[in-house]
């Protein structure tokens, strides 16, 4: 089991950190997730890779932590319709990683969560529906608003990274 832990610990820690936002809390969440995974190892079915199965446990544990410790607001509040695109794009080739990470960390908590799940962790809308317990339209709206807020923050603070 220690081999499995050492193989996946770093990646799972970073997944938890992106969601809970604090190093110590991410470590706690990751440890709890590993305990749950090892306890439920007999329920693992090879329909997905072990890493994907473990990541799902880490994401769920991170969301549970958020709900318990941060009075995490209901994600579906005020999600009615997808806002239209704004007509400007991020110059992805030139934006610096530290600026992008700083900008992501400035997003509202629910937008940061949606952004991380979709763009960083690679979940699709259907998977996010299950994870967040939201409708397809609400997930789509949440991701759209996260992108919009990211663009707005970049436009305000780093206009040189917005394509004209």
The full set of domain ranges for the chain reads 2-69, 97-161
- Which CATH number does 2-69 carry? 1.10.1740.10
- CATH entry 1.10.10.10 includes domain 97-161: yes
pLDDT band at 80 (very low <50, low <70, confident <90, very high): very low
Q: State how far Cα 58 lies from the chain centre.
A: 11
| Cα 50 from Cα 41, distance rounded (Å) | 10
pLDDT band at 143 (very low <50, low <70, confident <90, very high): very high
Nearest to 55 by CA among 34, 76, 74: 34
Give per-residue pLDDT as tens, 12-23: 898 888 888 888
């Amino acid at each position: 089991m220690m081999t499995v832990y050492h193989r996946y610990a770093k990646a799972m820690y970073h997944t938890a950190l992106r969601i809970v936002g604090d190093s110590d809390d991410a470590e706690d969440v990751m440890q709890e997730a590993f305990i749950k995974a090892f306890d439920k190892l007999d329920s693992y079915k090879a329909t997905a890779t072990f890493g994907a199965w473990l990541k799902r446990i880490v994401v769920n544990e991170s969301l549970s932590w958020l709900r318990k410790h941060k009075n995490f607001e209901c994600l579906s509040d005020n999600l009615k319709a997808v806002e239209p695109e704004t007509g400007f794009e991020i110059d992805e080739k030139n934006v610096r990683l530290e600026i992008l990470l700083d900008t992501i960390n400035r997003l509202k908590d629910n937008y940061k969560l949606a952004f991380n799940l979709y763009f960083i962790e690679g979940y699709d809308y259907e998977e996010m529906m299950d994870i967040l317990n939201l409708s397809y339209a609400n997930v789509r709206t949440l991701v759209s608003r996260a992108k919009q807020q990211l663009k707005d923050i970049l436009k305000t603070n780093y206009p040189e990274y917005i394509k004209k």
